[in-house]
Chain A
Amino acid sequence: MSAAFYDYVRGLTDEVPDGYTLQGMRVYRYLVYLGASQMVEACHPQLREQLGEDVWRLLIEDFIRQSAWNSNYYGDLENEFRDYLVRTTAAETV
Chain B
Amino acid sequence: MIGVGYRREMRDWDMSAVNADFFEVVPENWLRRDRAPLHDLCASGRPVFLHSVSLNLGGQSVINEAFLRDIRALLDELGSPHYSDHLASSGDAHQLYDLFPIPLTMAEVVRVSDRIRRAQDILGRRMAVENATWYTNCGNMTETEFISRVAERADCQILLDLNNIVVNHKNHGLSTLKEFVTELDMSRVSYLHVAGHEFNDQLGMYIDTHSQPVETLTAQMAHELSAKHGLNVLLEWDNDVPELDVINQELACLQPSMTT
Q: Which A residues are closer than 8 A to B by beta carbons?
A: 1, 3, 5-6, 9-10, 18-21, 23-28, 30-32, 35-36, 39, 67-74, 77
Contacts and interface: CB of A to CB of B under 8 A. Distances in A.
B98 A35 contact: yes
A1 B32 CA distance: 31
Given A24-B136, A24-B205, A72-B64, A31 B94 contact: no
A27 B135 contact: yes
20 contacts: A1-B89, A1-B100, A1-B101, A6-B100, A18-B138, A19-B138, A27-B135, A27-B200, A27-B203, A28-B98, A30-B203, A35-B96, A39-B97, A67-B94, A69-B96, A70-B94, A72-B54, A72-B55, A73-B31, A77-B97
Contacts of B28: 72-74
B100 A9 contact: yes
A55 to B, nearest CB: 21
Interface residues of B, number: 34
Nearest to A72: B54
B67 to A, nearest CB: 5
Interface string B86-109: 000101101111101111000000
Contacts of B54: 72-74
Given A1-B92, A6-B92, A24 B135 contact: yes
